[in-house]
């Protein structure tokens, strides 16, 4: 995001852009761990009896990820909360 884009975006737009960026970083990290898990499966599979799944070798928290109940906030409500916070802290 260029400086000009940053200066023109609203708090809601910035938050959404940051949220997508954070999700992309999280997904990239998870992909690396998934590749590591598959590599570990291939490395130990000749030494195991029966079927072994990648999940059995190296379970990750996101394998059984529970959906968090997040409150969906409309753009108007988000901006209202932002303005209230600015007033509360004496910002313009």
* Structure-block tokens of residue 78: 């988000």
DSSP sequence for 12-79: HHHHHHHHHHHHHHHHHHHHHHHHHHHHHHHHHGGGSSS---HHHHS--GGGGPPPP------HHHHH
Spatial contact of 52 and 44, defined as CB atoms under 8 Å apart? yes
Query: 38, 58 in Cβ contact below 8 A?
Result: no
pLDDT tens for each residue of the chain, 92 residues long: 788 887 888 888 889 999 999 999 999 999 999 999 999 999 998 898 888 888 888 888 888 765 566 778 888 998 898 888 888 888 87
């Amino acid at each position: 995001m260029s400086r000009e884009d940053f200066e023109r975006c609203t708090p809601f737009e910035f938050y959404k852009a940051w949220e997508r960026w954070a999700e992309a970083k999280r997904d990239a990290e998870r992909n690396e761990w998934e590749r590591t898990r598959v590599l570990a499966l291939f490395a130990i599979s000749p030494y195991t009896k029966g079927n072994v799944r990648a999940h059995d070798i190296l379970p990750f928290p996101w394998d059984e990820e529970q959906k968090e109940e997040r409150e969906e906030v409309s753009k108007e409500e988000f901006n209202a909360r932002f303005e209230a916070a600015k007033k509360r802290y004496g910002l313009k």
